[in-house]
Amino acid sequence: MFNEKKIIDICKTNKWRLTEPRLKVLKIISLSNRPIKAYDILKKLGDLIKNPKPPTAYRAIEFWEKHNFIHRIESLNAYAVCNKKNTHNGSQFLICNDCGKVIESDLFDLPQILKKSTQNNAFKPLRWSLEINGTCNQCS
């Protein structure tokens, strides 16, 4: 759900600069019931702001992605709002091949088997994501 007041409060608390296009971009992504591509975000932003420049939209997307309010679904090249606490480093997405719905799973820690593999390679993981394609309960 898009709670404008809450977003404004979070930005104030963290001293993040919240501009009008940033707020509108987050609203567009939040209200979309499917992951939305950057180009479509820009198009929708054009309905709310007069002639937005592409960098304005892309920078706003970057801003929310950096702060974990939205996630980039790599395989779809699209963005979805974070449905979990905006504080996790790991994300998993269950993507329905039939209806395009994306469910965010809430496994925040790297699974043990992957943790072990990173340790064996003396690799320090920062962020990770996992995308699983399949069918949702409404489509199967």
Binding site for Zn ion (CB under 5 A): 82, 84, 96, 98-99, 101, 136, 139
Closest CA to 104 of 37, 35, 27, 29: 35
**Considering the complex, what minimum distance in angstroms separates the CB of residue 33 from Zn ion?**
12
Q: For Zn ion, which is the closer residue by CB, 59 or 101?
A: 101
C-beta of 37 vs 105, nearer to Zn ion = 105
Contacts of 10 (CB under 8 A, 6+ apart): 16
Please give the Cα distance from 17 to 8 (Å, whole number): 10
Q: Read off the tokens for 48.
A: 């709310």
Q: Which is nearer to Zn ion, 43 or 88 (CB)?
A: 88
| Residue 52: CB minimum distance to Zn ion, A | 26
State the chain's maximal CA–CA distance in angstroms. 53
Q: Closest distance between Zn ion and the C-beta of residue 84, in Å?
A: 4
Residue 110 Cβ vs Zn ion, minimum distance, rounded to whole Å = 15
Determine the distance from the C-alpha atom of residue 24 to the mean position of all C-alpha atoms in its chain, rounded to a whole number. 15
**Between 42 and 82, whose beta carbon lies closer to Zn ion?**
82
Six token digits for residue 103: 């469910």
